[in-house]
Amino acid sequence: MNLEDFASVAEIVGGIAVIVSLIYVGLQVNDSASAARSAAASDATMAMQSWYLEMGRNRQASDAWLNAMTSLEPLPAHDEFQFMMSMHAAILAMQNSYLLSKEGTLDEEFREAVTTAIVAVKDLPGMGRYWRQRRGFFHAGFAEYVDGLLTQDAIETLEIYKVSDVTSDS
């Protein structure tokens, strides 16, 4: 073999090495993307879980939220403020799920599962008050998405959300 033959063999070996390296990098990128999607789903779940856990464990917070959601009129200033901040935290977590699904990091079915809660409370007076006051604080695409959710048929959920049931228990 002469020098030209060695150069040709080296070129072929180098080309194969590049292809193997690209395949390896592709597999690593795929694993990395999968890990990112998994982390995004976990983070989105934890955000909503934390909000629901706070509502479930803290009677004062859940009473304030439920009273504000079912009240035709705003509550006294501090109670209404607490309600607005609590709702904003939940809706921000939903916006995060929406944005992650739009970029492909989070599954759209997961996003739908998270944001269906909006459809469950869409007809309650507090939801209307909240959305009128805070809509402009959100990403335009998410705000339009929520506007669409608010036009969907209501879904049956907890009986406690029904205004007549709440007011008759008081």
Give residue-wise pLDDT tens across range 86-139.
Answer: 999 999 999 999 998 998 888 888 889 888 889 989 999 999 999 999 999 999
pTM of this prediction? 0.72
Closest CA to 126 of 74, 86, 84, 69: 69
Sketch the domain layout of the chain as residue ranges: 37-169
Q: Is 84 helix (H, G, I), strand (E, B) or coil?
A: helix
Give residue-wise pLDDT tens across range 138-164.
Answer: 999 999 999 999 999 877 765 655 554
Gap between the Cα atoms of 94 and 104, Å rounded: 15
